[in-house]
Amino acid sequence: MKVDYIIVGCGLAGISFAEKLKSNNKSFVVFDDNSQQSSIVAGGLYNPVTLKRFTPVWKSEKQLDLALPVYQKLEKDLKIQLDYKIAVKRRFASIEEQNDWFSRSDRPGLKPFLNTTLSENNNPKIKAEFKLGEVLQTGRIDTKLLIKKYRQALSKNELFITNRFDYDKLIMDDNGIQYKNIRAKHIIFAEGFGVKRNPFFNQLPLQGSKGQLLTIHAPDLNLDYVLKSSVFIIPLGDNMYRIGATYEQNDKTNKTTQEAKELLLNRLKTFTDFDFEVVNHVAGVRPTVKDRKPLVGRHQTHNNVYVLNGMGSRGVMIAPYIANQLYNCIENNTPLDSEIDCSRFN
């Protein structure tokens, strides 16, 4: 088999790069052994504001401009709904937080996204005496459905290989790379936290942050927006809600824990009062970097080997942006944004 690209990893980064290749008539094959879960278990929100301190997400306007058309095209190609437009509201814990919201609403990067008309809390199941602040231009991508359907589409076209990628079998020469019976011009490693076992890029400072989320059934909550307080409450439809998420630095497994479950439920109960049933509990390790920027670029010595990684908890927004950056770097010799270029750690 001869292709232009091998992509290792079929999460949000791998899918975004594959879509960029498709739009430019480049051939590819994708490897994924389902060992990484961060994209599958993600909350899927696209939200241009960091709601802990009311600061703009890095390059949020550019990211949204690139990302939303990608998901619209995927909806059309896969014949499914992925993008659910939904408001995100921040619960204020004090008058001081209200004042911070207003003071930041005119700042660059925030003005288009912070609604300066505060929302009254009309939901008796939510405790919010200091009202709510609404973030504009927000929504949720069904990442689990996207990845499932995308893999099925690749498999149908014989472009998806579920075997674990064997790094020892990768051979580089002046004309490209050879992996078993596949000849390619380039290879892209978009493995998420799995890059820690990749001998070509395991020296990069990818730290990893484990996140755990719950899904609950709550018939009496009747919440039609995403609520952010000490945890997120994300409506999924049919009285189902996702509760998340934890940020754990030591445990780097995909195993759920009772401690995390209790932590999420205890935080939820501090600002809500309703009956619910926990119906699911999932965990995954986010590919986080110490400077909170992605890791993108070429290997130090192998010119046809690249990394596409480090999206942290905002993969829905970042993935199309960094995929576009890497594609233009490879095919058009366009310099990468210096903030994401993995050579910054060489």
Q: How far apart are the first and last CA of the chain?
A: 34
DSSP conformation class of 55: E
Tens-place pLDDT, residues 332-346 = 999 999 999 999 998
The second-level CATH assignment, the architecture, of 87-137+209-286 is: 2-Layer Sandwich (3.30)
Q: Is the dihedral of CA 20, 23, 29, 34 positive or negative?
A: positive
Give the DSSP letter string of 194-226.
GGGG-TTTTTS-B--EEEEEEEEE-TTT---SE
In this predicted structure, what is the pLDDT of residue 36? 73
Right CATH for 2-42+144-206+290-345 from 3.10.150.10, 3.90.180.10, 3.60.90.10, 3.50.50.60: 3.50.50.60
At 337 the three-state DSSP class reads coil
Residues of the chain below pLDDT 50: none
Question: What's residue 19's pLDDT?
Answer: 98
Residue intervals of the chain classified under CATH 3.30.9.10 are: 87-137+209-286
Residue 43's pLDDT is what?
Answer: 83
Separation of alpha carbons 262 and 260, rounded Å = 5
For residue 295, the SS3 value is: strand
Domain with CATH 3.50.50.60 in the chain: 2-42+144-206+290-345
What confidence score (pLDDT) does residue 3 get? 98
Please give the helix or strand (H or E) that residue 84 lies within, else none: strand 83-85
Q: 191-233, pLDDT tens digit by residue?
A: 999 999 999 999 999 988 999 999 999 999 999 999 999 999 9
pLDDT at 175: 86
